[in-house]
Structure 1
Amino acid sequence: MPKQAQTMSLIKSEDKNKLFDPEKVSKEITDDDLKAFHEITNLEISSQQADRITTPYEVLLRQKKVLAVHWHPEYIPMDLIRQRIQNTFPNRDEELIIPTQHNQIMSYDGEYSGVEVDCYSSGFKRKVQLLLHFKSSKLENADVLKSMLAHTFEYRSSQLFDLMDTLIEPKWDDYRQLAAEGTGVGENVIRFAMIQTHKLRTLLEQHEHSISREVLKNKIVRNFLDAQRHLYPENFINRVQVFVKSVKKVVKANFSLTYFYRTSEIIEEARGIGGGIIVPHPEQFWPILLCDYDIDGYEVWNPQSQEYTDFLINVINRQNKSRSASTKKLLLFMGDDTHMSEKIKDSTQIEASKFYRDIGVQPAWDDLSIRKSLIVGSFSRKKMIDEYRERLEGQLSL
């Protein structure tokens, strides 16, 4: 940034800090609020955003096998995603790429389809997630599964409204105070969060018939605040975001899981139509490793689950050694867990833990520290692509 522009930016920032008074924030919806709301609910992709989507962070010239069965397209067009993958792996010669939108079946190439499902394991009273993958032609007989996913999608979306209620309604003041004490924020932060959330809820009610249900997620609260950063001091908005995140944790902790379908029910329905089943980031719910679920394999590495990768590989190796010759072996996967809507954000809005993920980029496959364990189990991108594709086609590899 040129020195003059940098100086002007600092002056504007100082003026914004001096002029800001949390007590004087309007409770009425302003033009700025409307602008922010339309910005975060408009799913059209600008040319600048399209460039961000199609431009990868790195070009992997040497990687020829691309295995990506845990990633989220969200509302980003597949043609732009396809271009990004092409630009990331220009020399690829084999791939298995299947999207796994939360509770919504989607396809990347028309041949295979996938979904990440929230479900409930009553044995250890935890929500777990499953990655389901299908030969797309088999989904013609998936009416029951689609109905189960629709219910799960609507129920998970309801968590957003629980979050907004907890940030606004007087009866949840104890939860707000608990979050405030845990984050060290003052009453001015709580009041601001309440005002902005009330505006957002009102706008959602006013525009419920014209916005996509894709935006009805917890992160819309965060996005609404981020869209107004230019109006308020940066450090103040940061404190508000920390407070909202803390409230969200309280809401999630009190969100009833019994309305989700049981894990065994989802597995049974998926198997009934020839689906493949993978458990993603199992280190977040350890007991699932002890359950005798009918699955194809585990994800042992994920950008948010990296600490126990070598341990998980060895667990799979031991389980496979103990299985009879007639029992199918457990497969091993790495999940990049990419959220494509993160790619369109500018530098002031990114969540670094998600922003730098990329479809098919799973460096653990080439990590020398776990290479020995992978070799012992005969695991590689190539072998997992071939074996999992055979299973999805209906030719089980034992």
Structure 2
Amino acid sequence: MRSIDPMNPAAWDPAITEQDHAVFERVISTDLSDEKLKELASPPLTLPVQQSVMAVHWHPEFVPMPVIEQRVHNMFPAMTESLIIPTQHNEILEYGDFSGVEVDCYSHGFNQKVQLLLHFATARLDHAHTLRAMLRHTLTYRASQLFDFMHTITAPLEDRIEQAARETGADLDLVEFVRHHVTKVQRMVEDNHARLPQDALKNKLLRNYFDALRPVYDSELIDRIQTYLSAVKAIVKTHFSLRYFYRTSEVIEEVRALGGGIIIPHPEQFWPILLADYDVDGYEVWNPQSQRYTDFLITVVGRVNACEGLSQRRKLVFMGDDTHMGEKVKDVSQRNSEKANREIGYQPAWDDLELSKRLILSGMSREIVIREYRERLLG
């Protein structure tokens, strides 16, 4: 049932209602029905011919790994060789003989937060106590950004709110409407903090909460709210201190001590990292949101390898599907369709005829990279 006049403050109940609780519980829930699990195990896309499958940048979120494994096998029924490693944000997860994580860290040289994809033969992690502690710290600190996000809206921090409103054309009624609802979300998070799943303590909680209000309020209003929230989030991120992240060099040192592999994902998001000369195994040159410079990045990797010669391990070319399995759990009306359509192991750029020319000249292919990187991780 839709609210007749959502912008009338007289109709806003400051108390947390049963409906508020129900929406919140639905948004934070990680419970999956048998029907949903069956759906998740059955991908809409099947590649019956592809034999080599590489997926070293994807996020299981709260979807059970056996279901994901079944989905991968259903999508690639002819698969004979593979390297499939999950990369949950700041949390090591295992798939078969390998484990992985995508970690946030801080590059002091160009003063920017970056991400690294870390991969391991699972057997090497028996004594990874320091790395696990570093990841726990990073996960906790990263989650604190949600509280900054909510505080900016509910306090409110006027300079940030005014900037976001100017950038998006949000009027005072919309700003106050958002503050009213975020105040409730903030209270529910605080009241239930001890039992909340870790996956809930992310900025996307607010986006998902307002998406869940679409049956109550006009979708056009929710779209305007999401635009405004995105602007606020971007401003919050610019004020989020980087000093509490571990330095990129510290993470790399710990990973190398454990015999792990390191890939830089979507480097065009932080171009200076290409010049930082970090000890990494390779660069991700393509993923669904980073396709513009694929050809250029393949050339860069080839040039780096030519300069280093045979005395050092060459840099490898990777492609990441960056699949977020949690996006597939949402109702169709609330999904980010671009994210929801990504699939683990689906990287069509490997088969692009134009890119194939560059890959061949660089001595790269999906099969070559699978075998070479696997050897490094097991070596």
**One fold, TM greater than 0.5?**
yes
Shift of 1:349: 0.6
Q: Counterparts of 1:115 and 1:317 in 2: how far apart (Å)?
A: 26
User: Aligned partner of 1:51: which letter?
Assistant: K
Matches within 5 A, 1:182-261: 182-261=167-246
User: Aligned partner of 1:283: which letter?
Assistant: E
Are the aligned partners of 1:316 and 1:330 in contact in 2 as well (CA < 8 Å)?
A: yes
2:365 pairs with one of 341, 360, 380: 380
Structure 2 equivalent of residue 356 of structure 1: 341
User: Aligned partner of 1:247: which letter?
Assistant: V
Per the alignment, in what secondary structure is the counterpart of residue 207 of structure 1?
helix
Gaps of 5+ in 2: none
Are the aligned partners of 1:167 and 1:176 in contact in 2 as well (CA < 8 Å)?
A: yes
Q: Counterparts of 2:67 and 2:121 in 1: how far apart (Å)?
A: 23
1:340 pairs with one of 308, 325, 332: 325
Are the aligned partners of 2:120 and 2:259 in contact in 1 as well (CA < 8 Å)?
A: yes
Structure 1 equivalent of residue 76 of structure 2: 89
Per the alignment, in what secondary structure is the counterpart of residue 43 of structure 2?
coil
User: Aligned partner of 1:361: which letter?
Assistant: Y
Shift of 1:280: 0.4
Structure 2 equivalent of residue 154 of structure 1: 140
Q: Counterparts of 2:6 and 2:283 in 1: how far apart (Å)?
A: 51
Shift of 1:19: 4.7
Structure 1 equivalent of residue 103 of structure 2: 117
1:70 pairs with one of 57, 60, 66: 57
Q: Deviations over 1:309-335 (max 9, x none)?
A: 000000011111111212111111000
Q: Counterparts of 2:13 and 2:226 in 1: how far apart (Å)?
A: 19
Q: Counterparts of 1:22 and 1:388 in 2: how far apart (Å)?
A: 59
Q: Counterparts of 1:49 and 1:223 in 2: how far apart (Å)?
A: 19
Q: Deviations over 1:37-64 (max 9, x none)?
A: 1111221101332233122131111111
User: Aligned partner of 2:369: which letter?
Assistant: M
Q: Counterparts of 1:22 and 1:163 in 2: how far apart (Å)?
A: 25
Q: Counterparts of 2:178 and 2:112 in 1: how far apart (Å)?
A: 30
Per the alignment, in what secondary structure is the counterpart of residue 309 of structure 2?
coil
Q: Deviations over 1:153-193 (max 9, x none)?
A: 111000000000001103x0121111011111111111111
Matches within 5 A, 1:292-371: 292-371=277-356
Q: Is structure 2 residue 45 aligned with structure 1 residue 49?
A: no
Q: Counterparts of 1:307 and 1:17 in 2: how far apart (Å)?
A: 43
Per the alignment, in what secondary structure is the counterpart of residue 82 of structure 2?
strand
Per the alignment, in what secondary structure is the counterpart of residue 333 of structure 2?
coil
Shift of 1:22: 3.8
User: Aligned partner of 1:194: which letter?
Assistant: R
Q: Counterparts of 2:28 and 2:332 in 1: how far apart (Å)?
A: 19
Structure 2 equivalent of residue 145 of structure 1: 131
Q: TM-score, normalised by structure 2?
A: 0.97
Shift of 1:31: 1.1
Q: 1:288 to 1:196 in 2, by over 3 A?
A: same
Q: Deviations over 1:66-92 (max 9, x none)?
A: 000000011110011111111111111
Structure 2 equivalent of residue 269 of structure 1: 254
Gaps of 5+ in 1: 1-11
Are the aligned partners of 1:52 and 1:343 in contact in 2 as well (CA < 8 Å)?
A: no
Per the alignment, in what secondary structure is the counterpart of residue 243 of structure 2?
coil
Are the aligned partners of 1:189 and 1:240 in contact in 2 as well (CA < 8 Å)?
A: yes
Q: Counterparts of 1:310 and 1:20 in 2: how far apart (Å)?
A: 49
Per the alignment, in what secondary structure is the counterpart of residue 119 of structure 2?
strand
What percentage of aligned pairs have identical amino acids?
50
Q: TM-score, normalised by structure 1?
A: 0.93
Are the aligned partners of 1:20 and 1:233 in contact in 2 as well (CA < 8 Å)?
A: no
User: Aligned partner of 2:352: which letter?
Assistant: D
Q: Deviations over 1:254-313 (max 9, x none)?
A: 111111101000000000010001000001111111111111000000111100000000
Per the alignment, in what secondary structure is the counterpart of residue 335 of structure 2?
coil
1:129 pairs with one of 105, 115, 134: 115
Shift of 1:209: 1.8
Structure 1 equivalent of residue 274 of structure 2: 289
Q: What CA RMSD, in Å, does the superposition of the two structures yield over aligned residues?
A: 1.2
Q: Counterparts of 2:42 and 2:5 in 1: how far apart (Å)?
A: 39
- Displacement over 4 Å in runs of 4+: none
Shift of 1:20: 3.8
Q: How many residues were matched structurally?
A: 378
